[in-house]
Structure 1
Amino acid sequence: MSSGTNIEKLTLEDIMSDRFSRYSKSIIQERALPDVRDGLKPVQRRILYAMYKDGNTYDKGFRKSAKSVGNVMGNFHPHGDSSIYEALVRMSQEWKLRDPLIEMHGNNGSMDGDPAAAMRYTEARTSKIASEMLRDIDKDTVNWIPNFDDTEQEPVVLPSRFPNLLVNGATGISAGYATEIPPHNLGEVIDAVIYLQKHPDASLNDLMNFVKGPDFPTGGIIQGLDEIKKAYQTGRGRIVVRSKTAIEKLRGGKQLIRITEIPYEVNKLQLVKQIDEIRINKKIDGIAEVRDESDRNGLSIAIELKRDVDQKGIFNYLLKNTDLQITYNFNVVAIDKMCPKRLPLKSILSSYLEYQRLIVSNRTKYDLMVAKKREHIVDGLIKALSILDKVIETIRSSNNRKDASNNLVKAYDFSENQADSIVALQLYRLTNTDVTKLKAEKAELTHKITSFNRILDDPMKLDDVLKKELLSIKKEYGSERKTVIENEIENIKVSNKITIPDETTVVLVSHDGYLKRSSLRSYKASETDDCGLKEDDYPIFLKKLSTRDHLFMFTNKGHLIYRPIFEITDVKWKDTGEHISQTIGLDSDEQIIDIFDFKDLKANGMFVIATSDGYIKRTEFSKVIPGRTYRSHSLTYEKLKNANAKVIKVAYIENNNTDSEVVVISNIGMASRFMLNEVSINGPRTTGVKSIELRDEELVCNMALVHDNDVIGIITQRGSYKNMLVNEIPLTSRGRRGVQILTPLKRNSYEVIDFAKLSQFNEVHNPLRVYTSNSRMHDIVPDDHTISNRKSNGSMIIDISKEGNPQKITNIIL
């Protein structure tokens, strides 16, 4: 190891921090972000300058793109040729830039995402408007730095005689920064710059009188004026961009949606594919065919609809589920004074205006210097022609050109530049005509010098020059706005009639929590009892419903589970289906007790909810409409007061009808009957009011909504059953103790397990089914039993030693 070696001990953290900081600075300033002054990234700037330097401009013939790429890579941009070529191609794509800076012969890609042809096949040159980016670059208007190998000089920034950052926009990602600047209309931006010249204190509203919003090269419709204003105020914002469409009438009552403009940077091929996949997968019904009819005359996508379909509904669905409508996010980040900044609109315009004043000032200084130099030469020539004979004699007596120049300086007090010009003067110019021309040139130079000095001395004069040049550019290159701006973002609503086909299906929910839906074909092809459930499981809900209907499932722990019918797993009738706990967690002892189906979520009825600890309430349907998280979270519809309490019944009444009566029976046979209108209306997270007075260890076993002549069927723990008229229970007020409906015994008294209101069909009571602890089912024909009074304990129908203890009694689902 040499004695001159110096080893430093540094932590990995310090090394990585230092190296990454330098790397980040490099890619932020030298690669990914545009400069606020010319709106170009370094690679774009180098491409334009290299092509300008090589004479590869709009007024000359096209040259191979490979030659331009090679010049850029070899002289200014020591990176891969593919990245240079990609940047060159993008500057030529009229669907990416509002005013392309490169003209290209050959395949330069497409809106379908097709790549450009290889650089050896294409030809390129700078466009006419690109000449305005480079105009006056040779007049010391910008600063210069050595290139990567110190063999040439390159501009730090281009003169950019129009506001390219806003006109053509920019997109890029660097270390810790990203930028997304949309294109704008050239004429609007120039008008805003000119207004800001005269009104430096202009507000954002003033500037937005000129810059209405982005103007995308692909046209389209922008929605959200407030978001545009927010983006121009803060540098961040989100706007909605949607396609421009028209409806065409076809023969046979059919319609066609014609898309003529699509959102900025949307891949047309992928858009057509998205729409066609919706048609193929039948996510909506009504699309007959999707065709891309684009040609050299412009973009055109045809969506042919079937006869007599909801055209507006289909279009809304496509807006919401395809790239026919996108969200564009402003993130206006650019390099300003060597630092990356998020810039509002006024800051961009102010920085550009300040820069252009500097460009005009530097150019004027250069022109003034050139004019003064020429004036000095012209003064010398005029003086020489006034003493022409002496000048000729002095030159003839000199030894050589240099000696002649020196002699003229000594003899006649010419400057060295003047003497050199006199010596180089051709003989044919020694005429009176030339003297006249020189005097005229002298007068013109004097006028120019005076004019240049006025511009440099008077900021208003300088602004007048800048304004005139900007207006000239607007007149030459300005164009009509392509993108339409709408004030409000339309709230797109997609009807279920569009997204969900109206199909009849059989829905089943089991006691153990399994649910499924099956087609009518699968249901009819199977045995009714062969429903795929486990041996000890049974249906608690079985009904033919539309796929557009809604299902509300209430559990004994006060939780409401909601499912649109079309979201329930569609399986064969012989399959088990899905368990509700696959999506929503339930307690081990939690069960679904009541289920209701609705055509829509606009019902105006009420739920009547009763608990085992003697509480009851009414809750409006509108208060339990599910939220966005219904798939994974249940809604609480009842607040239980203690851990042992549970909901024992949920009933539904249409149109808030309160003519019904309420019957509540406890396990020891105490029954109370009162009017439903005595039950107060409460929200979902409440307990309710007292339904019956309970005593120690007493629980409510069930509740029913009844009328005076209704009959209820009661099952006891000993397996006895009886029919009883509701009016056997006196009508009293809510919260009373009630009356006994079983005769008490000294030993082994009867207890009510459950009861059900009998339903009728053609004046015959439907059968009942009792479920026992041994997973047995015992069917009861109510009409086989007489109606008993409230003192009767019923007749024995279940042998509990063999069938098990009764657990529940329900009307049989037919």
Structure 2
Amino acid sequence: MTQTERFQDLPLEEVIGDRFGRYSKYIIQDRALPDARDGLKPVQRRILYAMYHEGNTNDKAFRKSAKTVGNVIGNYHPHGDSSVYEAMVRLSQDWKIRHMLVEMHGNNGSMDGDSPAAMRYTEARLSAISSELLRDIDKRTVDFIPNFDDSDMEPTVLPARFPNLLVNGSTGISAGYATDIPPHALHEVLDAVLMRMDNSQATVAELMSVIKGPDFPTGGIIQGLDGIRKAYETGKGKIIVRSKAEIEPLKGGKEQIVITEIPFEVNKATMIKKIDDHRFDRKLEGISEVRDESDRTGLRIVIELKKDVQAQGILSYLYKNTDLQVSYNFNMVAIYKRRPTMMTLQTMLDAYIEHQKEVITKRSEFDLQRASDRMHIVEGLMKALSILDKVIKTIRASKDKRDAKNNLIASYDFSEAQAEAIVSLQLYRLTNTDITDLKKEEAELKKTIAELTGILTSTTKLKNVIKKELANIRKQFAEPRRSVIEDKIEEITITREIMIPSEEVVVTVTKEGYVKRTSTRSYAASNGKDFAMKETDHLLFEGNLNTQHTVLIFTTAGNFVFQPINELPDIKWKDLGQHLSSIIQLDANESVLTVYPFENFDADASILTVSKMGQVKRSALKDYQIQRYSRTVKTMNLKSEDVMIYAGLVTKETELFIATNQAYGVRFSLDEVPLTGLRTSGVKGVNLKDGDNAVSAVLIDSTVKQELVLITHRGAAKKMKQQEFESGGRAKRGVIMLRELKSNPHRVVAVIGATGKEEIVLETSKGIRIPLTVNSLKNVDRYSNGSFIVDEATDGKVINAYRLEAKE
């Protein structure tokens, strides 16, 4: 007989939706989320029950973990052995579980994220407190269901004689749901349960008078009472957990930060590495060493600081930028009545109380039934002893045990159970003392039956039993709170001065873009001489600055580089600096224009920039203080063919002078240049003729005596008073600065503002540099072509002129 194939033509969306729906239902209900009653996920429940069932309890010897794992997989949890072992190990880790449910001998991992030893090496048993989760499970207190292969029965929930969900918390991710319930102090949770039992309408505020908030096994400082309150009211909330740290003084004016508690679920080794990375990457200059001094006595991380560094500032930085401080988000989802539910504090307590009432009721019913059955037997034995001779005669006259039982039932009105007990009696039990024992047992049974009946009929008595047993657990297992709770979340403010130790250094920037900072020791050893630089290069900036300061480096592409001094490469005076392009990305044709150092950006000043096409713009100095400086920042929006030729710091200056290549000069008030943001193009500063372009700009302060030195491409130089140029309006053509020549006219290379003693260097097309002292020039008028400094025929045309900057 051939088997015919059957095909179902179904839409893919339906099939996928149906299968994923089934899968989701399974992992939500039976894998990733804890039960609201006992706070356990199925794998955890199966591990604890398997250990209990096999007698691997706290009062017996340790047993190989592999035996338990095999037992769990074989009988209850048909999944991978590693997942079962990992769950078992987690239950034994005192830095993850507030009250460990499993005791383990051997390597069970560490706070550094180390893996535990293989299960064949470790040994485990139930802890004392986990026996409270399982107590009375044999008294039909919870429902049992068949295991996966119907060969055994397993509990759907544990009796849970303490509120494990709140005490040990839980974390997990399923389909569409995740949970994060923090651990709490046992005594506080039990007090909250008792309060809720006394007052079913107790508010979160009232409950928080006893349950202060989470209590992490790793301790730490919890900040944010409002977040805790919100979480207890809604199931969601956010708190801050920070390490416990102390600042200890050392010899020689140094200090060290000692951390003795870290946030919950933080990997200690990773955290230490990240702290050390901040030191190694020079993001934090004040740390000299980070050490892990933890041992079996406790956790201890030491952060040793350099001399004269503010320890509190470093600590604040580490709180903000490392896992020394983390945020914890409550997401209190649990399975309640077979559904994933966002739990409030009240619903958690109520679910537990409801479960306990059920457990105690079922236990009482079980004990009552057992006591009643025994009472019935005792009554039968007492009756039998009162007519002992007749009973013996009846039994002797019977053919066998069954006949004896039947004769006893027929003759003396015994029940089946009583008759079985009588015929099973041993001869020594027929002594005179036995009747006394039976009467004593009868009295005790009557008392027990009365108590159990009272529990089953009176809600008050039922509550009192629960309260009494919870009080005993509190007395036996309560531990002092480990986490400290603070009302407010502290706002962390970090200044660069705190992070960076103050150190005097010499900062240099060359025209070709080589930058470095040099220690004053290296500078003094060289006596400021033999500065390393390429032959074609010259020093653009040299200044004695502090590592807490900043330099702004302006480039020809209309950008600026925000460069903290402490992040500059530390290079000896006699060694070549590092090129700016290796620190920050520059365009191919972008070169350094000007450098300005700043201690801060609070001054009432502005940065003025001028472009080759005659555009002028001005922005407030405070706009140049930026937080992210991993790339260049636009300071002047230029057209594609334009370049920036000038960047100047405006403090007291009131006017600007612009010189053009074709020897026009225009002077106007800075009031005509409005303050704008960084990414603007500015306004027209000079009206250029066709083929002309701006070459120089000079800021003018009328209170300071300053002259204008003009250099032409033919090697001529002249000095003019700034009064030669009247202040006019912006965007004008300006006035002529040289006598016009019909053949081979002079073209302006640069106009430099000078006070008299400076030295100007002229660079020629043949690479020759010719110095010029400003004092050697006489003042002339605008119509003069000046004096020839360079022999054009032998030395070449002048292509550049710059002033040797005085040291900052």
Q: Is 2:621 the partner of 1:651? A: no
Q: More deviation in 92-101 or 6-15?
A: 6-15
Would the aligned equivalents of 1:550 and 1:564 in 2 still touch at CA under 8 Å?
A: yes
The one-letter code sitting in structure 2 at the alignment partner of 1:3 is T
Judged with a 3 Å threshold, the aligned counterparts in structure 2 of structure 1 residues 226 and 753 are, in CA distance, closer, same or farther, namely farther
Task: Tell me, in whole angstroms, the C-alpha distance in 1 between the residues paired with 2:112 and 2:636.
Answer: 56
Would the aligned equivalents of 1:510 and 1:538 in 2 still touch at CA under 8 Å?
A: yes
Task: Tell me, in whole angstroms, the C-alpha distance in 2 between the residues paired with 1:735 and 1:323.
Answer: 57
What residue in structure 1 maps to residue 533 of structure 2? 531
Normalising to structure 1: TM-score of the pair? 0.82
The one-letter code sitting in structure 1 at the alignment partner of 2:144 is W
The one-letter code sitting in structure 2 at the alignment partner of 1:507 is T
Would the aligned equivalents of 2:30 and 2:41 in 1 still touch at CA under 8 Å?
A: yes
Q: CA deviation at 1:162?
A: 1.2
Judged with a 3 Å threshold, the aligned counterparts in structure 2 of structure 1 residues 179 and 813 are, in CA distance, closer, same or farther, namely same
Task: Tell me, in whole angstroms, the C-alpha distance in 1 between the residues paired with 2:516 and 2:57.
Answer: 70
The one-letter code sitting in structure 2 at the alignment partner of 1:580 is S
What residue in structure 2 maps to residue 757 of structure 1? 753
Q: Is 2:784 the partner of 1:792? A: yes
What residue in structure 2 maps to residue 440 of structure 1? 443
Q: CA deviation at 1:691?
A: 4.9
Q: Is 2:614 the partner of 1:622? A: no
Q: CA deviation at 1:756?
A: 1.0
Judged with a 3 Å threshold, the aligned counterparts in structure 2 of structure 1 residues 324 and 727 are, in CA distance, closer, same or farther, namely same
What residue in structure 2 maps to residue 663 of structure 1? 657
Would the aligned equivalents of 2:496 and 2:548 in 1 still touch at CA under 8 Å?
A: no
Task: Tell me, in whole angstroms, the C-alpha distance in 2 between the residues paired with 1:362 and 1:83.
Answer: 34
Task: Tell me, in whole angstroms, the C-alpha distance in 1 between the residues paired with 2:156 and 2:584.
Answer: 60
Q: Is 2:630 the partner of 1:638? A: no
Task: Tell me, in whole angstroms, the C-alpha distance in 2 between the residues paired with 1:298 and 1:529.
Answer: 53
The one-letter code sitting in structure 1 at the alignment partner of 2:650 is I
Task: Tell me, in whole angstroms, the C-alpha distance in 2 between the residues paired with 1:777 and 1:611.
Answer: 26
The one-letter code sitting in structure 2 at the alignment partner of 1:636 is K
Would the aligned equivalents of 2:504 and 2:544 in 1 still touch at CA under 8 Å?
A: no
Judged with a 3 Å threshold, the aligned counterparts in structure 2 of structure 1 residues 127 and 383 are, in CA distance, closer, same or farther, namely same
Task: Tell me, in whole angstroms, the C-alpha distance in 2 between the residues paired with 1:62 and 1:688.
Answer: 81
Deviation sequence 1:713-757 (CA, Å, 0-9, x none): 123465543210011223456666654434456677655453110
Q: CA deviation at 1:808?
A: 4.5
Task: Tell me, in whole angstroms, the C-alpha distance in 2 between the residues paired with 1:253 and 1:441.
Answer: 76
Would the aligned equivalents of 1:619 and 1:684 in 2 still touch at CA under 8 Å?
A: yes
Task: Tell me, in whole angstroms, the C-alpha distance in 2 between the residues paired with 1:735 and 1:768.
Answer: 29
Q: More deviation in 520-529 or 196-205?
A: 520-529
Would the aligned equivalents of 2:318 and 2:324 in 1 still touch at CA under 8 Å?
A: yes
Deviation sequence 1:143-191 (CA, Å, 0-9, x none): 2123344332221221111121221233456677665443221122223
Task: Tell me, in whole angstroms, the C-alpha distance in 1 between the residues paired with 2:245 and 2:161.
Answer: 36
Deviation sequence 1:408-446 (CA, Å, 0-9, x none): 555666554454445556544898746754763564255
What residue in structure 1 maps to residue 505 of structure 2? 504
Judged with a 3 Å threshold, the aligned counterparts in structure 2 of structure 1 residues 116 and 591 are, in CA distance, closer, same or farther, namely closer
The two structures, once aligned, show a CA RMSD in angstroms of 4.5
Judged with a 3 Å threshold, the aligned counterparts in structure 2 of structure 1 residues 741 and 510 are, in CA distance, closer, same or farther, namely closer
Q: More deviation in 777-786 or 718-727?
A: 777-786
Q: Secondary structure at the match of 1:34?
A: coil
Task: Tell me, in whole angstroms, the C-alpha distance in 1 between the residues paired with 2:711 and 2:313.
Answer: 53
What residue in structure 1 maps to residue 494 of structure 2? 493
Judged with a 3 Å threshold, the aligned counterparts in structure 2 of structure 1 residues 605 and 444 are, in CA distance, closer, same or farther, namely same
- Percentage identity across paired residues of the two chains: 46
Judged with a 3 Å threshold, the aligned counterparts in structure 2 of structure 1 residues 700 and 338 are, in CA distance, closer, same or farther, namely same
**Structure 1: gaps spanning 5 or more residues:** none
What residue in structure 2 maps to residue 132 of structure 1? 132
Q: How does 1:6-155 map to 2 (within 5 A)?
A: 6=5, 8=7, 31-65=31-65, 67-78=67-78, 84-105=84-105, 108-111=108-111, 123-155=123-155
Q: Secondary structure at the match of 2:37?
A: coil
The one-letter code sitting in structure 1 at the alignment partner of 2:59 is D
Q: How does 1:169-318 map to 2 (within 5 A)?
A: 169-172=169-172, 179-198=179-198, 200=200, 203-229=203-229, 231-232=231-232, 239-249=239-249, 255-266=255-266, 294=294, 296-302=296-302, 309-316=309-316
Task: Tell me, in whole angstroms, the C-alpha distance in 1 between the residues paired with 2:637 and 2:16.
Answer: 58
Q: Is 2:455 the partner of 1:452? A: yes
Q: Secondary structure at the match of 2:761?
A: strand
Q: CA deviation at 1:100?
A: 1.4
Q: Secondary structure at the match of 1:59?
A: coil
What is the aligned counterpart of 2:720 among 714, 720, 724? 724
Judged with a 3 Å threshold, the aligned counterparts in structure 2 of structure 1 residues 738 and 342 are, in CA distance, closer, same or farther, namely same
Would the aligned equivalents of 1:610 and 1:647 in 2 still touch at CA under 8 Å?
A: yes
How many residue pairs get aligned? The number is 796
Q: Secondary structure at the match of 1:193?
A: helix
Task: Tell me, in whole angstroms, the C-alpha distance in 1 between the residues paired with 2:450 and 2:38.
Answer: 32
Judged with a 3 Å threshold, the aligned counterparts in structure 2 of structure 1 residues 801 and 213 are, in CA distance, closer, same or farther, namely farther
Task: Tell me, in whole angstroms, the C-alpha distance in 2 between the residues paired with 1:208 and 1:759.
Answer: 75
Would the aligned equivalents of 1:382 and 1:439 in 2 still touch at CA under 8 Å?
A: no
What is the aligned counterpart of 2:678 among 673, 676, 684? 684
Q: More deviation in 479-488 or 364-373?
A: 364-373
Would the aligned equivalents of 1:515 and 1:577 in 2 still touch at CA under 8 Å?
A: yes
Task: Tell me, in whole angstroms, the C-alpha distance in 2 between the residues paired with 1:644 and 1:65.
Answer: 75
Q: Secondary structure at the match of 2:656?
A: strand
Would the aligned equivalents of 1:180 and 1:331 in 2 still touch at CA under 8 Å?
A: yes
Would the aligned equivalents of 1:379 and 1:442 in 2 still touch at CA under 8 Å?
A: no
Deviation sequence 1:571-622 (CA, Å, 0-9, x none): 6766573353874453x66554332122344444322334556554543211
Task: Tell me, in whole angstroms, the C-alpha distance in 1 between the residues paired with 2:283 and 2:678.
Answer: 35
Q: How does 1:354-393 map to 2 (within 5 A)?
A: 354-374=354-374, 377=377
The one-letter code sitting in structure 2 at the alignment partner of 1:663 is F
What residue in structure 2 maps to residue 577 of structure 1? 578
Q: More deviation in 343-352 or 720-729?
A: 343-352
Q: Secondary structure at the match of 1:132?
A: helix
The one-letter code sitting in structure 2 at the alignment partner of 1:362 is K
Task: Tell me, in whole angstroms, the C-alpha distance in 2 between the residues paired with 1:446 and 1:287.
Answer: 72
Would the aligned equivalents of 1:375 and 1:445 in 2 still touch at CA under 8 Å?
A: no
Q: Secondary structure at the match of 1:213?
A: coil
Task: Tell me, in whole angstroms, the C-alpha distance in 2 between the residues paired with 1:498 and 1:805.
Answer: 51
Q: More deviation in 83-92 or 111-120?
A: 111-120
Q: CA deviation at 1:137?
A: 0.6
The one-letter code sitting in structure 1 at the alignment partner of 2:720 is M
Task: Tell me, in whole angstroms, the C-alpha distance in 1 between the residues paired with 2:614 and 2:278.
Answer: 53
Task: Tell me, in whole angstroms, the C-alpha distance in 1 between the residues paired with 2:706 and 2:269.
Answer: 67
Normalising to structure 2: TM-score of the pair? 0.83
Q: More deviation in 263-272 or 190-199?
A: 263-272
Q: More deviation in 317-326 or 554-563?
A: 317-326
Task: Tell me, in whole angstroms, the C-alpha distance in 2 between the residues paired with 1:637 and 1:277.
Answer: 33
Task: Tell me, in whole angstroms, the C-alpha distance in 1 between the residues paired with 2:611 and 2:202.
Answer: 68
Would the aligned equivalents of 1:672 and 1:692 in 2 still touch at CA under 8 Å?
A: yes
Deviation sequence 1:648-697 (CA, Å, 0-9, x none): 4321134xx35x44333455544444554665444334555665666777
Task: Tell me, in whole angstroms, the C-alpha distance in 2 between the residues paired with 1:422 and 1:147.
Answer: 39
Deviation sequence 1:198-221 (CA, Å, 0-9, x none): 555555444444433321222222
What is the aligned counterpart of 1:768 among 756, 760, 767? 760
Would the aligned equivalents of 1:505 and 1:519 in 2 still touch at CA under 8 Å?
A: yes
